[in-house]
Amino acid sequence: MILQLEGLTAGYGAAPVLRDIHLEVPQGSIVTVLGPNGAGKTTLLRTIAGLLKPTTGRILFDGDDLRGVRVEHLVRRGLALVPEGRGVITELTVEENLRLGGLWRKDSAATMSEVYELFEPLARRNKSMGHQLSGGERQMLAIGRALMARPRLLLLDEPSLGLAPKVTAQIMSLLRQLRDNDGLSVLLVEQNARSALSIADAAVAMSLGRLAETSSGDMRAAYLGS
Amino acid sequence: MRTLLWSVAAAAGLVAATAMLDPFRNYQLATIAAYLCATAGLTVLTGLNGQLSLGHGALMAIGAYTVAFAQKSWDSLYLSLALAVVVTTVAGAVVGLAAARLRGPYLAGATLALAIAVPSITITFQSVFNSEQGLPVFLTPPRTLDIERWQALVAGGAAVLVMWLLANLSRSHLGRRMRAVRDNEVAASLTGVAVSRTQVLAFVISSACAGLGGALMAFLAQSVSPGAFPLTLSLFLLMAVVIGGLGSLAGALWGAVLLVALPDVIHSLTEGMVLKPAMASRLEGNLPLAIFGVTLIIVMLAAPGGLQGLFSRLLKRGHHAPNS
Amino acid sequence: MERFAFLTFDGLANGAVYSAFALALVLIWRAARIVNFAQGAMAVAAAYAAYAVTSATGSYWLGFAAALAGGMALGVLVERGVMRFTSHSAPLNQVIVALGLVLTIQAGLGMLYGNEFRPVGTPFSRDAIDVGGVPLLSQYDVFVFAAVLTIVLLLALLFTKTSTGLRMRAAAFAPEVSRLLGVNVGGMLTLGWALAAGAGAVAAMLVIPTELGLHPHAMDLVFVTSFTAAVIGGLDSPPGAVVGGLLLGLVLSYVSGYLGSSVTPIAAFAALLAVLLARPQGLFAASKARQA
Amino acid sequence: SSGGETPGGAKGDSTGVTDTEIVVGTHMPLTGPAAAGYSEIAPATKAYFDHVNASGGVHGRKITYKVMDDGYNPANTQTVVRQLVLQDRVFAILNGLGTPTHTGVLDFLKTNKVPDLFVASGSRTWNQPEKYPHTFGFNTDYTVEGKILGNYIKQSLPGKKVCFFGQDDDFGRDSLLGVEKVLGATAVVSKQKYVTSNTDVAPQVGAMKAAGCEVVVLATIPGFTALSMGTAARLAFKPQWVVSNVGSDHPTLAKQLGNAAPLLEGMVGVSNLPSPADLTDPWTAAFKKIHDQYNGKAPFNGNAVYGLSVGYLFVQALQAAGKDLTREGLLAAVEKNGFKGPGFAPLRYSKTNHSGYGGHRLTKVAAGVQVFFGDVFETDSADGSVNVFGEQRPTPPANTIAS
Amino acid sequence: MELHGIGVRFGGLVALEDVTLTATRGHVLGIIGPNGAGKTTLFNVLCGLIAPSSGSMTLDGKPLKPKPHQLTRLGVARTLQGVGLFPGMTALENVMAGATGSAGFLSALLGLPSSARSERVLRESARARLDEFGIAAYEKAYPATLPYAVGKKVALARALVTRPRYLLLDEPAGGLSEEEIAELATLIRTLRGTCTVLLVEHHMDLVMEVCDEVTVLDFGRVIASGAPQEIRDNPAVADAYLGVAA
Ligand SMILES: Nc1ncnc2c1ncn2[C@@H]1O[C@H](COP(=O)(O)OP(=O)(O)OP(=O)(O)O)[C@@H](O)[C@H]1O
Ligand SMILES: Nc1ncnc2c1ncn2[C@@H]1O[C@H](COP(=O)(O)OP(=O)(O)OP(=O)(O)O)[C@@H](O)[C@H]1O
Ligand SMILES: [Mg+2]
Ligand SMILES: [Mg+2]
């Protein structure tokens, strides 16, 4: 298990947004979280990434309790988050954003050319400021930047947002490929249930801050009605 | 309607208060009222519309000098105050047109330079403005009233009027437009808000208020001079509105009260201390200033939303307590 | 013509010291996205440290080192002790805290050292070198130019060539995202404050001898002029600060020489307005942000 | 404001006076950019009052001196003076400092009939007995000073090219007026001005150098005296400096110039009060004793002597006003005049004249010490001639308290 | 609404080149294309946020020289890609901001009853919109706390309160669930007839379902346009945009 959540409760004020969450992400698997708006999916990812302190419960990453671990240390341990709404640093150039993603890595130059190969609009615009990019280009940049860290666990919050269908498909196949070849684990939050479920090893449904685990087959049935 | 009721109540309170206070307290009340005009205007500009001004002291100076000139030629106070508002409105429109192109620190820099430039005009054209020494403001106080009480009534009345108008404004669609421009200019323009025009309007309104505040200062001091409108005044006005609570006009009131009361309180605190002469001459003046500075910092750290933010938070908690 | 040449050199010499302090303002803006109104007061405090050391040891350079070290220490103290706890979502709060610091520091210095002016020496002669009857720059002016140039180069290196510079900028623009990317945002802020305060202290050491002398308010006017210079140049740009400072120095010197010294604030305002109306983000503005 | 009855029964306003206490107030810049120098005055005056109080006070009343910081901001002056008058109910305002600051409160003090004694500035504004009957100046006014400086140049530096460098307000203006009254309107070949908010004086100094000035009259505050001299030295410009009283206190200048203090050598100045450096002067010696006892480690410089002198004169006035102290009585006593004290020149107070001292003595810096030389001169601020004032000062009374 | 030969350049980058298209009154026109193709830029030109370097536009047959803030008066409303709400206002105020009040400056300043009345009317209609979208519960919430999709709905409501005749939607379905997209499709269909809709969207099902015509941009040029079905089967479109998985 690369990630285990045990009885996680968290929120922004008095009323908790996440209630008693138990979840496991096995090493080298893709787990997707589906659920209606406001269910708490974004909150779940932010809590795992350390941006929000859980009120109760534990987060185990590689078996280590993450309590007390500073956010900025997580990425070096192999945990990366692509935040909802992109989080591109718009005052930096494309290349600077990417560099920032893997500053401490020796092989970052190689990774960068891989990212450029994958998202060829970024390569074209590598000297542009983040704020000049189109919506989809920003999303590519945010994902590419997370890949720069070569994480072992990737938390993706609606990665398909604003991307052309072709690019979404590319990303999904990339995730599958990284899982198969490099043992990458992914916790994927998506509204685009079809593409998410197409690569997921497991799926959980979330509503009103609670998880209801089901097999991805059931989910497929529930969400896609097939 | 609610605002009108509030204003009438405030006016009645004012009349009653001035009757009870001694002359010095009345003068302080009048000073608070004069500051309030300026801070309320600044709250509209900075809080509502998101434009930062470090030059409101200069606009106050324009209002003050207008009153001095006007009183010299006709000695009719209300007319002079009105003229001061008109003149600063025009000045505000000119500055506002330039300001509407600028954002953030660039606007801060421009208005800061304005705050420095306006007083130096009085020195450059000293035959008109009489340099640092400034001009007297002629007044004919009423015979029936204590002069300080009269000052408190006039300044207080003006402040109530300003607060009433600005409260109406900020609750109306105009106030909403200003906030829209503050929050997201593109989205604002796409919802039909003329961004520059709204910014100029906010600047004009705010200038008119600052001009009235300055005019009242001149009326209170019975004199005007550039030294009374230094850069620090502009900075203190900004401090007042932020410490008071930038979001609301009530914050402007707290700010104005603070500007007058805090130095007074600190003075009486430090006055009681008995010190060795060597220490005394160093601490005198400096100690109150240090306490003032530390107070500012502490308030900002403890109440990021300013005093008004703190109060409304406490109030809310009070409301919730019985239910939960 | 001689007068013009004289005023030109006077303007350049003054402009250089404005540039020096404007650089410190640019540095803190880049590192923390705040206009540090306390920078002047902090720099004066550092200059008092230099004064104390120089008086005790008789060495200008030991004093200079003390100013640099003291300034950086004060920067760290201010960031760790106060600024860190101000709300980042309300940038004005930081301005007000900075103003509170100004009052506190100046009052503190007044209590410690009194209100009188203290002389500050220079390491090189300030006597202007006379060429054909026109007094040109002094050795000290050359020293100031060299110092400014050094600071600009160091800043350029830091921000464009090192990963620390990249981290600093990222931390300033987007603290939360930067933390997710492994940037120690707190550390970067502290570093930024230390560097900026150090640069400010050096600038104060350069400026104060050319002014009335050391005094709790010694940097008040310099702050205003340098801030104006930094805004003219574009707050994000170190070369902009230098150009802005020199430009302003020249304008003020000409205006002072030909129109009178009381006109200079009006001229500064006019110059600033002229530049900003043409380029609302200063002379060296980065590309305009896309709107939608 | 309401008057009170004195305990003795005489009619008049005795606000601020009890059997055991007299409360007086002042406004001074204790903080802010203008505080340099000026902030030393009030503590010195206070020290003098402490000294008097320690010997039993005046007619059994101790003097309480309330010093309010106005930061040299006229708006603050308005507030603190009202606080003193309306809240603290002071008997009089003493030695309020600054032309722009004090000008603003003249009308208020008049309305409230508060004695406004010995204003600390050389403006001629204070001398308007019909308009401001409660206000009295103290300093030798700037025009008188200018005339005396001009007279010195006329007599001792004839034929030299004279320039003038002054503050761009009534200080510089009145001083230049005085200089030109004596030397003639065309005699000053270059007239330069500065404002305190612009510390680059090189353009002005450069212009004076270019004009070939041999004598430069400075109507400058100390900081700008030092700055002008330093700038001139940088430009290898070495005129004879002739400096107004405000900006010619040697200890203050020397301290500010530090290593460059030798530039002050030969500077001609004027003063009406004894030099703090000259301990052979009986007044200086007497004041130093009081200063050391009651004003601790504060520097004993021109500002200290000034503050002590103000205290001395005020006590003289209180003594003259008699046991039944009223505001009216005090004003009458000042108008009656006859005060003699540390000053070289005479005080000009009368029913028709509310200006302060009427003259100066010249000083020169030689071998690092500022010494008086020549006669004491006296004149008016109009077109009267500059005369030698021959009368000697008395020696300080026992205990340095006038009786 | 017609565009003729629109071209836009950013430095060396050609964002739009010779774009000509016509939006038929009452139709829904889909605009699709790869990321960075110039769709948002096209909207920006239509709104006057960017001045095109070439080309001309007409609206209702009259030449259009748009200024952003005058668009609502011309009956044009637009949503932004992303959310684009006013962070300092509640959801309700955000929606109200879209509508222009009838009260004038003086009546607002003096707080006259007419001003209060127009405010009340605005508030009611804004509330009705929120209710219609099923997000009335978020009325008092600030945008930062809204789930992404709720924010998008608020933005849509803000555009609709002006009762526009032309509606430009930039990725309205982003972040919405399948169910909500179905609702959105219903909404757009109800607008058809009264309102001309320009729809930029990457969600192909939605595009196919609601659009009368579709135009495809790639590298700033129109590479295809026609009925949805034709577009889907166009190999060039499939290659540039849809990819294999579609
Ligand atoms: N900063 C915040 N402060 C207060 N409440 C918040 C905050 N952020 C989110 N919430 C609330 O928490 C709940 C869950 O929000 P969250 O963003 O996690 O939902 P989500 O499942 O990601 O929805 P979506 O699919 O629309 O993105 C919502 O009710 C939301 O209003
Ligand atoms: N202000 C600008 N400065 C420089 N380049 C810009 C600017 N605005 C847009 N661009 C570039 O123009 C191209 C078109 O951008 P646009 O936003 O129109 O794309 P889009 O079709 O909306 O893409 P997406 O589907 O990703 O939103 C992009 O490559 C973008 O980076
Ligand atoms: Mg979400
Ligand atoms: Mg787009």
- What helix, strand, coil percent values describe chain B, rounded to 5? 80, 0, 15
- When pLDDT is averaged across residues A78-83 and rounded to a whole number, the result is 92
- Cα distance between residue C166 and residue C159, in whole Å: 6
Q: Would you tell me which residues 216-275 of chain C have a C-beta closer than 8 angstroms to some C-beta of chain B?
A: 224, 227-228, 230-231, 235, 260, 262-266, 268-270, 272-273
pLDDT band at B317 (very low <50, low <70, confident <90, very high): low
How remote is the C-alpha of A129 from its chain's centroid?
24
Determine how many CB atoms are found less than 10 A away from the CB of residue C159: 18
- When pLDDT is averaged across residues D333-351 and rounded to a whole number, the result is 91
Partners of D190 in the beta sheet?
D163
H-assigned helices in chain E: 39-46, 71-74, 91-98, 105-109, 113-132, 148-160, 178-191, 204-210, 228-233, 235-237
Would you say D318 and D310 are in contact if contact means Cβ atoms under 8 Å apart?
no
Judge whether C180 lies within some domain.
yes
**Which chain C residues contact residue B108 at CB under 8 A?**
35
3-state secondary structure A63-88: CEECCCCCHHHHHHHCEEEECCCCCC
**Which chain B residues contact residue E108 at CB under 8 A?**
168-169, 172-174
Distance from CA of B213 to the nearest CA of D (A): 13
Q: Look at residue B318 and tell me whether its pLDDT is greater than 90.
A: no
- When pLDDT is averaged across residues D115-137 and rounded to a whole number, the result is 94
Q: Look at residue B273 and tell me whether its pLDDT is greater than 80.
A: no
What's the pLDDT tens digit per position in C31-63? 988 999 999 999 999 999 999 999 999 999 999
Contact: chain D with chain A (3+ CB pairs below 8 Å):
no
The token duo for B267 is 């003075």
- Cα distance between residue E212 and residue B266, in whole Å: 73
Distance from CA of B136 to the nearest CA of C (A): 22
Chains that touch E (3 or more CB pairs under 8 A): A, B, C
**Which chain A residues contact residue E182 at CB under 8 A?**
none
pLDDT band at D82 (very low <50, low <70, confident <90, very high): very high
Question: Could you tell me the distance, in angstroms and rounded to a whole number, from the CA of residue E148 to the centre of ligand 3?
Answer: 6
What's the pLDDT tens digit per position in C205-262? 999 998 888 999 999 999 999 999 999 999 989 999 999 999 999 999 999 999 988 8
Determine how many CB atoms are found less than 10 A away from the CB of residue A120: 10
Question: Could you tell me the distance, in angstroms and rounded to a whole number, from the CA of residue A186 to the centre of ligand 3?
Answer: 16
- When pLDDT is averaged across residues B64-70 and rounded to a whole number, the result is 95
At residue C19, the pLDDT reads 94
pLDDT band at D4 (very low <50, low <70, confident <90, very high): very low
Would you say C241 and C253 are in contact if contact means Cβ atoms under 8 Å apart?
no
- Cα distance between residue E46 and residue E3, in whole Å: 9
- Cα distance between residue B150 and residue B160, in whole Å: 15
From the list D145, D101, D150, D106, the residue with the least C-alpha distance to D122 is: D145
Out of C60-69, C121-130, C160-169, C252-261, which region has the weakest mean confidence (pLDDT)?
Answer: C121-130
- Nearest ligand, CA of residue A44? 1
Q: Domain E1-75+164-246 has what CATH class?
A: alpha beta
**Which residues have C-beta under 5 Å from ligand 4, the single-atom ion?**
A 134-135; E 40, 81
Q: Look at residue B234 and tell me whether its pLDDT is greater than 90.
A: yes
Give the strand pairing for A202-207 and A210-214: antiparallel
- When pLDDT is averaged across residues E201-223 and rounded to a whole number, the result is 91
Return the domain boundaries, chain E.
1-75+164-246, 85-162
Q: What sign has the CA pseudo-torsion C191, C192, C195, C201? A: negative
Residue C278 CB-density burial (10 A; 0-12 exposed, 13-18 middle, 19+ buried) = exposed
What's the pLDDT tens digit per position in B74-85? 889 999 999 999
- Cα distance between residue E155 and residue E150, in whole Å: 9
- Cα distance between residue C254 and residue B306, in whole Å: 45
In degrees rounded to 5, what are phi and psi of residue E28? -105, 120
Q: What angle do CA D94, D95, D96 make, to 5 degrees?
A: 95
The token duo for B314 is 């406490």
Question: Could you tell me the distance, in angstroms and rounded to a whole number, from the CA of residue A167 to the centre of ligand 4?
Answer: 14
Give the containing element (helix H, strand E) for E31.
strand E28-32
SS3 for B142? Answer: coil
Judge whether C130 lies within some domain.
no
Contact with chain E for residue A114, Cβ under 8 A: no
SS3 for D219? Answer: strand
Out of A83-92, B110-119, C19-28, D69-78, which region has the weakest mean confidence (pLDDT)?
Answer: A83-92
Task: List the single best residue of A45, A134, A219 to mutate versus E (max E Cβ within 10 A).
Answer: A134
Q: Look at residue C15 and tell me whether its pLDDT is greater than 90.
A: yes
Interhelix angle C238-258/C2-32, nearest 10 degrees: 150
3-state secondary structure B19-62: HHCCHHHHHHHHHHHHHHHHHHHHHHHHHHCCCCCCCHHHHHHH
Residue of minimum CA distance from atom 17 in ligand 2? A134
Q: Look at residue D197 and tell me whether its pLDDT is greater than 90.
A: no
Distance from CA of E27 to the nearest CA of A (A): 23
In degrees rounded to 5, what are phi and psi of residue D63? -95, 125
- When pLDDT is averaged across residues B114-131 and rounded to a whole number, the result is 90
**All residues at 6 or more sequence positions from D197 whose CB lies less than 8 Å from its CB, including other chains:** B116, B120, C221, C264, C265
**All residues at 6 or more sequence positions from E106 whose CB lies less than 8 Å from its CB, including other chains:** E112
- Cα distance between residue B275 and residue B282, in whole Å: 10
- When pLDDT is averaged across residues C126-146 and rounded to a whole number, the result is 84
Domains of chain A with bracketed CATH: 1-78+155-226 (3.40.50.300), 87-150 (no CATH)
CATH label of the domain that carries residue C244: 1.10.3470
What's the pLDDT tens digit per position in D48-74? 999 999 999 999 999 999 999 998 999
Regarding the beta carbon of A12 and ligand 1, being less than 6 Å apart is answered: yes
> What secondary structure letter does DSSP report for C206?
H
From the list C164, B74, B27, B221, the residue with the least C-alpha distance to A99 is: C164
Determine how many CB atoms are found less than 10 A away from the CB of residue D59: 15
Ligand 2 atom closest to the Cα of residue A124 is 29
What's the pLDDT tens digit per position in B7-32? 889 888 988 898 899 999 999 999 99
Ligand 2 atom closest to the Cα of residue E220 is 14
Task: List the single best residue of D111, D169, D301, D308 to mutate versus B (max B Cβ within 10 A).
Answer: D169
Residue C231, domain extent: 2-121+137-291
From the list B279, B267, B289, B269, the residue with the least C-alpha distance to C104 is: B289
Q: Look at residue B235 and tell me whether its pLDDT is greater than 60.
A: yes
Regarding the beta carbon of E37 and ligand 2, being less than 6 Å apart is answered: yes
Q: What percent of chain D has pLDDT over 90?
A: 73
Distance from CA of E37 to the nearest CA of A (A): 9
- Cα distance between residue C95 and residue C109, in whole Å: 21
What is chain D's mean pLDDT, rounded? 90
Q: Look at residue C189 and tell me whether its pLDDT is greater than 60.
A: yes
Q: Pick the residue from chain C with its C-alpha nearest to E47.
A: C292
Greater pLDDT, A225 or A170 = A170
How remote is the C-alpha of B15 from its chain's centroid?
21
Q: What percent of chain B has pLDDT over 90?
A: 64
What's the pLDDT tens digit per position in E15-71? 999 999 988 888 999 999 999 999 999 999 999 999 999 999 988 888 888 888 888
What's the pLDDT tens digit per position in E187-203? 888 888 889 999 999 98
- Check if the interface score ipTM surpasses 0.85: yes
pLDDT band at A218 (very low <50, low <70, confident <90, very high): low
Question: Could you tell me the distance, in angstroms and rounded to a whole number, from the CA of residue E54 to the centre of ligand 4?
Answer: 21
pLDDT band at C119 (very low <50, low <70, confident <90, very high): confident
Question: Could you tell me the distance, in angstroms and rounded to a whole number, from the CA of residue A199 to the centre of ligand 3?
Answer: 20
- Cα distance between residue E188 and residue E195, in whole Å: 9
Judge whether C67 lies within some domain.
yes
